[in-house]
């Protein structure tokens, strides 16, 4: 008799954290988590990252705030939130009973605000980590930190110095050199990197000649950005020693496996939950099924298993080409 297959270990080490599986609900699309109560078994997720909270409440951008595109979704929410005080008083207590780890996403207008938010949120019991939203593309000044290594390093340093809770830096793809920004975050004391945030995009209503959003541009998410996200994850994993949460266009287990193979320690799922609230548990199950099919005992056996293509150096005629 063939022995029953042993279920692989889906535990995902992420710096100081240990996630029960690598599938994380990313900031924004999952709100404060309670909106999905009854639709998604929250305890089946590796972690939940809350929607961004700021120092003061924000009403957000004018509607319309969402516009579908081929293979993607544009959003211009504008960090609508209740402010950190109301979040800590009313939202966080209920979320801590969800059965999985809670990571709180925060956004400050400058390094000092990131430090304040890290101190206040980090003092709340039950917060597993703090994610710094350095990279929102649809608010005024929202990418200042994420496009400058010095600003990134200072914001992370102020936050990390204000709390003992692990700090995760969420980075923007809208830069010329993602590696320099990631290294700056690591120098600043980040325990992990989260990437990518949305790409800047625009969609115009031809009949009205106006933007399909209430603002001119928004953040593009969904399957269309996945190849960009995988490439930037691969680049950053090779350049830093801290773990990376890879996210961007993940809708299936095979999508998630691409990120894990190139070295992401965990994966974030966002826009896919709009189409299918059950996408995240299904992705976790699909990853497990793949490990079983491959005969792998644990998730970490596949993380970073990417086989790199040889680098070809093209030379002048008559010279020997090297690989």
pLDDT tens for residues 88-136? 999 999 899 889 999 999 999 999 999 999 999 999 999 999 999 997 5
The helix or strand, by DSSP H or E, that contains position 268, with its residue range, turns out to be strand 266-269
Name the residue with higher pLDDT: 204 or 110.
204
**Nearest by Cα to 259 from 26, 71, 7, 72:** 26
Please report the pLDDT score of residue 309 as a whole number: 92
CA distance 196 to 172: 6
Q: Is the pLDDT of residue 322 over 60?
A: no
Position 1 confidence tier, pLDDT thresholds 50, 70, 90: very low
Q: Where are the domains of the chain?
A: 12-301
Please report the pLDDT score of residue 32 as a whole number: 86
Q: Is the pLDDT of residue 143 over 90?
A: no
Please report the pLDDT score of residue 319 as a whole number: 65
CA distance 178 to 193: 11
Residue identified by tokens 């920004």 is 181
Other beta carbons less than 10 A from residue 309's beta carbon: 7
Mean pLDDT score of the chain: 92
Please report the pLDDT score of residue 3 as a whole number: 43
The lowest-confidence range among 26-40, 171-185, 202-216, 268-282 is 26-40
Catalytic residue, chosen from 71, 98, 136, 145, is 136
Radius of gyration of the chain (CA): 20
**Nearest by Cα to 217 from 159, 142, 146:** 142
Domain 12-301: CATH class, spelled out: alpha beta
Position 142 confidence tier, pLDDT thresholds 50, 70, 90: very low
Check: CB of residue 67 under 8 Å from CB of residue 127: no
The helix or strand, by DSSP H or E, that contains position 286, with its residue range, turns out to be helix 279-294
CA distance 10 to 92: 27
Please report the pLDDT score of residue 317 as a whole number: 66
Residues 28-76 pLDDT 10s:
888 888 788 788 899 999 999 999 999 999 999 999 999 999 999 999 9
The answer to whether residue 145 is catalytic is no
Other beta carbons less than 10 A from residue 69's beta carbon: 16
SS3 category, 191 = coil
Q: Is 275 exposed, middle or buried (0-12, 13-18, 19+ CB in 10 A)?
A: exposed
Compute the Cα dihedral for 153, 82, 225, 217 and give only its sign: negative
């Amino acid at each position: 008799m063939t022995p029953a297959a042993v279920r692989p270990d889906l535990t995902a080490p992420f710096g100081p954290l240990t996630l029960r599986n690598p599938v994380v609900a990313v900031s924004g699309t999952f709100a404060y988590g309670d909106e999905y109560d009854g639709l998604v078994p929250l305890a089946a997720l590796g972690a939940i990252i809350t929607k961004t909270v700021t120092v003061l409440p924000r009403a957000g951008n004018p509607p319309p705030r969402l516009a579908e595109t081929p293979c993607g979704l544009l959003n211009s929410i504008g960090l609508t939130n209740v402010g950190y005080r109301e979040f800590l008083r009313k939202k966080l207590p209920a979320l801590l009973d969800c059965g999985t780890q809670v990571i709180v996403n925060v956004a400050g207008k400058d390094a000092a605000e990131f430090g304040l938010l890290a101190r206040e949120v980090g003092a709340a019991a039950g917060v597993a980590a703090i994610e710094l939203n350095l990279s929102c593309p649809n608010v005024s000044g929202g990418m200042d930190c994420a496009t400058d290594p010095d600003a990134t390093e200072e914001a992370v340093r102020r936050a990390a110095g204000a709390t003992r809770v692990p700090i995760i830096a969420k980075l923007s793809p809208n830069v010329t050199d993602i590696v320099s920004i990631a290294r700056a975050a690591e120098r600043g004391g980040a325990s992990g990197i989260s990437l990518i945030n949305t790409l800047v995009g625009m969609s115009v209503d031809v009949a009205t000649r106006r933007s399909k959003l209430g603002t001119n541009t928004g953040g593009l998410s969904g399957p269309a950005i996945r190849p960009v996200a995988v490439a930037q994850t691969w680049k950053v994993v090779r350049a830093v020693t801290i773990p990376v949460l890879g996210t961007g266009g993940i809708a299936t287990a095979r999508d998630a496996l691409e990120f894990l193979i190139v070295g992401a320690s965990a994966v974030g799922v966002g826009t896919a939950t709009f189409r299918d609230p059950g996408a995240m548990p299904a992705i976790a199950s699909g990853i497990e099924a793949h490990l079983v099919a491959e005969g792998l005992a644990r998730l970490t056996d596949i993380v970073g298993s990417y086989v790199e293509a040889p680098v070809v150096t093209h030379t002048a005629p008559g010279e020997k080409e090297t690989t």
